[in-house]
Amino acid sequence: MPPTKVLMLVCDGMADRPLKDKGNRTPLEAAKTPNMDALAAAGATGIMDPIGPGIRPGSDTSHLALLGYDPYKVYTGRGPFEAAGVGLKLNPGDIAFRGNWATVDAKGKVLDRRAGRIKEGTQALAKELDGVEIDGVKFILKAATEHRTVLVLRGKGLTCSVTDTDPHKENLVAGCKAIDNTPAGKRTCKVLNEFTKMSMKLLKDHPVNQKRIADGKPPANIVLVRGAGMTPEMPPLAKAWGFDPVAIVGVALIRGICTLAGMEVPVVKGATGGVDTDMMAKARAAIKALGRHDLVFMNIKAPDIGGHDGDFDLKQSSIERIDEAVGYIKDNISSDVGLIITADHSTPVPVKNHAADPVPLLMFGDGVRTDNVKAFNEKAVAHGGLGRLRGKDLMPIMQDWVDKAEKFGA
C-alpha cells in the first residue's frame, strides 16, 4: 500500500564538493552514515536543484521551493521570515527587516555593529520603540537572541525596495536610500530614517545604556536594519497540498517560513538551530508528531555551519550525528510512512558560502522504485533512478506518493 504520511528531513547545507586533501571526498562521503546508506540501498535516489541549475539558493528561497511555493513570486527579502520566526504576527503587505542593536556616535557613525554583542536588557530597550507611529506607519520592534532584533513597518504606501540602514561596516553612517525612485520608496525611506533617528534619541540615555556605559560596555544606542522584505500572501500548505503538516525546526528563519506557510511549529527542547542542537530530541519529536500529522518537515541546521566556517571535520561530524538520528527514525517509523532525506543547498567547505551544486535526494518507503545506488552521498546518488529534479517538484511528488494528488485530465 502507498504510504499515507511523509517525513521529510532537510539537512541544511549538507551537500558539498570533493576536497583534494580529504582524498577527493566530500564531508558526506567521508562521514560514516550506515543508516542513510541503508535507506539509499533500499530506496530511490537522485539529485535535485533546489531552485534551478546554477542558481545559488538561500536557505529561505530553497525552503520555500521545498514547501511548494514559488520563491520568485513570494520572496522579496529575508525580513518577513525572520520576523515570523521570532513569533511576530504579520499581515500581507507588512515590510519586515532583521536588525541589530548597535553602537553609534552622536552623528550616527557606526562604532560597533553589535553593541558589544549585548545580551541583557534588550527587551526593555525594545519596549521604548515598539509601537511608535510615524506619518501613519506603525513600527513593531521585537528583541531576538542577543544583539538581534526584527522590525516591522505596517502602513499604507510602503515598499521593500529600500537599502539597509545598516552600513555593514564600522565607521560608516547609518541610513537607508530608496532603490527605485517611486513615491513608496521615498516614503518608506523617510519614515525608516526618522525611526532610526528616533531610536538614537530614545535609547541614548536609557537606564540599560547608562549601566552599560558605567560598566565600560558599548551602549545599544541605535537599531540598524537589513533584509527588507514584503510579507507575502502565502496560501497555507495544508490548503495548497492537502497535508496536515508540522515543522520540527530550530533555526528562526526556517521557523518563520514554516509559520508563514501556516504550519504548526512546536518548540522542541534542546533544538537550538546550532551545532549543539539535540538531534535525537528532534528525531523523537518527529516520530511522535507522525501520530497526529501526515507531513512532518524537519530541518537540521548543523552541517551548514561547518560549511560556512570552512570546517570539513565539523561538517563531517554533524553529518555523522544526523545519521544517528536517522537511525532512530528508521527504526521507529511504521510502514505507512514515506521518508525523504535531502538538503536545501550545498555549502561547500572550500566556498564557505552556499553554492548551486545540486543536493542529494533519497526516497524510502512503499511504492518507491529502488535503484542500483547503495550509498547516500553526492556522487553515488547522481547515478540514481530519480534522475535530476528540482526543489519545486518535491511537494507534488509527495502528494502523488500518498495518493492525495488529483488527476490533471481524465
- Cα–Cα distance measured from residue 190 to residue 225, given in angstroms and rounded to the nearest whole number: 14
Q: x/- site string to its own copies, residues 190 to 229, per CB under 8 A?
A: -------------------------------------x--
CA distance 123 to 133: 19
Is residue 310 involved in binding its own copies (CB under 8 A)? no
Give me the sign of the Cα torsion angle 258, 260, 262, 267: positive
Single out the residue of 33, 61, 100, 318 in contact with its own copies (rule: CB under 8 A). Answer: 61
Grid cell for residue 71: 520563491
Report d(CA 331, CA 347) in Å as an integer.
Answer: 29
| 62 lines the binding site for its own copies (CB under 8 A) | yes
Q: What are phi and psi of 219, to 5 degrees?
A: -75, 150
Q: Give, as ranges, the residues between 71 and 110 that touch its own copies (CB under 8 A).
A: 71, 75, 77-78
In angstroms and rounded to an integer, the radius of gyration of the C-alpha atoms of the chain is 23
Should residue 390 be labelled a site residue for its own copies when binding is judged by CB under 8 A? yes
Region from 160-168, 198-206, 287-295, 348-356 binding its own copies, contact rule CB under 8 A: 348-356
Query: What is d(CA 261, CA 253) in angstroms, rounded to the nearest whole number?
Result: 12
Listed in sequence order, the residues at least 6 apart from 186 whose beta carbon sits closer than 8 Å to its beta carbon are 178
- Whole-angstrom Cα distance, residue 165 to residue 274? 28
* Contacts (CB under 8 A) with its own copies, residues 368-387: 368-372, 378-379, 382-387
Say if residues 302 and 321 touch (Cβ distance below 8 Å).
Answer: yes
| Nearest one of 165, 167, 161, 142 to 152, comparing CA atoms | 142
CA dist 82 and 338 (Å) reads 30
CA distance 307 to 22: 15
Q: 4, 17, 217, 272: which one contacts its own copies (CB under 8 A)?
A: 17
* 208 vs 402 by CB, closer to its own copies: 402
Q: Which of 24, 123, 210, 334 binds its own copies (CB under 8 A)?
A: 24
Q: How many CA atoms lie within 13 A of 157 on its CB side?
A: 12
The one-character DSSP state at 103 is E
H or E element at residue 85: helix 79-85
Return the residue of 192, 208, 253, 339 that touches its own copies, per CB under 8 A: 253
| The one among 9, 14, 51, 192 contacting its own copies by CB under 8 A | 51
In 3D space, the residue among 88, 11, 74 whose CA is nearest the CA of residue 256 turns out to be 88
Q: Which one, 167 or 384, has the nearer CB to its own copies?
A: 384
- Strand ranges, E, within 318-365: 337-342, 359-364
Instruction: Give the H or E element holding residue 267.
Output: none
d(CA 348, CA 339): 25
Residue 132 CB, shortest distance to its own copies, in Å, is 27
Which residue lies nearer to its own copies by CB, 283 or 363?
363
Least Å from the CB of residue 82 to its own copies = 9
Interaction of residue 175 with its own copies, rule CB under 8 A: no
Shortest reach from residue 322's CB to its own copies, in Å:
20
CB of 41 to its own copies, least distance (A): 13
Least gap, CB of 46 to its own copies (angstroms): 8
Q: Answer yes or no whether residue 148 interacts with its own copies by CB under 8 A.
A: no
Report yes or no: 82 and 98 within 8 Å, Cβ to Cβ. Answer: yes
Say whether residue 294 binds its own copies (CB under 8 A): no
Q: Which three cell numbers stand for residue 136?
A: 501613519
To the nearest whole angstrom, how small is the minimum distance from the Cβ of residue 246 to its own copies?
Answer: 21
Closest to its own copies by CB, 283 vs 333, is: 333
The interface region with its own copies, picked from 119-127, 136-144, 159-167, 390-398 by CB under 8 A, is: 390-398
Interacting span for its own copies (CB under 8 A) from 20-28, 84-92, 148-156, 185-193: 20-28
**407 contacts its own copies (rule: CB under 8 A):** yes
Exactly one of 357, 359, 362, 364 binds its own copies (CB under 8 A); that residue is 357
DSSP 91: -
Among 13, 26, 85, 275, the residue binding its own copies under the rule CB under 8 A is 26
Least separation, in Å, of the C-beta of 24 and its own copies? 7
Task: List contacts with its own copies (CB under 8 A).
Answer: 1-2, 17-18, 20, 24, 26, 44, 47, 51-62, 71, 75, 77-78, 227, 253, 348, 350-351, 353-358, 366-372, 378-379, 382-390, 393-400, 403, 405-410
